[in-house]
Amino acid sequence: MTDFQKFMAEVDKCLISKLGLSSSSIADAPWRDWFEDEMEVEVCCAIALYDYNDVSFEVLESIGLGDYI
């Protein structure tokens, strides 16, 4: 498993635990770029949901990702 695959496994773990959806179930986001920028998984998940999937800040707060926006 490559480092990027490990990163995406962590992304999916975060998304599934918070929302019940994996990265393949939401709109595309620049995961590779964020991985290369060494961003934290939780930050990536929050940005992907907020900026690319129109999830409200209130929902992010309720699932524990509000601090990352």
Domain spans of the chain, in order of start = 3-68
Residues written for the chain = 69
pLDDT for the residue 32: 97
Instruction: Quote the pLDDT of residue 69.
Output: 87
pLDDT digits (tens, 9 = 90+) for 12-69: 999 999 999 999 999 999 999 999 999 999 999 999 999 999 999 999 999 999 999 8
Amino acid at 11: V
pTM for this predicted structure: 0.93
Q: Cα-flanking dihedrals φ and ψ of residue 2, to 5°?
A: -75, 165
Note the pLDDT of residue 1.
94
**Maximum Cα–Cα distance across the chain:** 35
